[in-house]
Amino acid sequence: MNVDIKIARNKKRLLKALDASLGIVTTACKQAKISRSLYYEYMADDAQFKRDVAALDDVALDFAESSLLMQIRNGTPASTIFYLKTKGRKRGYVEQVNIGGVKDAPIQMVQITQDEYDERAKALEDADDC
């Protein structure tokens, strides 16, 4: 068999196996009966093969997103919270601590004495009592 034809068939089998394994290289190589070192050789030597493999990354991501959405539909609170923290950021679903005052202005640190601190703390306590 012509070497080029064999390589093309190997790559085709690898791509099919990578698709089935959601991009897990070891699993795909075992399924395609091709060594991992040969896989990485193909990746290094063939730009088109490398692009084809990269395109398969979306398959695994799509699968994970579908699974996440299924969990949300089934009422899994942790999945809902995760989704909102990642996809709902534009709507304010963000777990963060905002420190500072004016937007993007640097925070100025001021050193005060213990007496000044005590005075300020007392003033805050008095304000809370109102």
Instruction: Answer whether residue 20 is part of any domain.
Output: yes
- Find the domain containing 87 and state its range: 3-91
Is this structure's pTM higher than 0.85? no
53, two tokens: 């493999």
Residue keyed to tokens 């950021």: 89
Instruction: Answer whether residue 18 is part of any domain.
Output: yes
Residues 15-30 pLDDT 10s: 999 999 999 999 999 9
Instruction: Answer whether residue 116 is part of any domain.
Output: no
In the predicted structure, residue 9 carries a pLDDT above the cut 90: yes
Share of the chain above pLDDT 90, in %: 60
Q: How many domains does the chain have?
A: 1
In the predicted structure, residue 115 carries a pLDDT above the cut 90: yes
pLDDT band, residue 95 (cuts 50/70/90): confident
Q: How far apart are the first and last CA of the chain?
A: 91
Instruction: Answer whether residue 122 is part of any domain.
Output: no
Instruction: Answer whether residue 120 is part of any domain.
Output: no
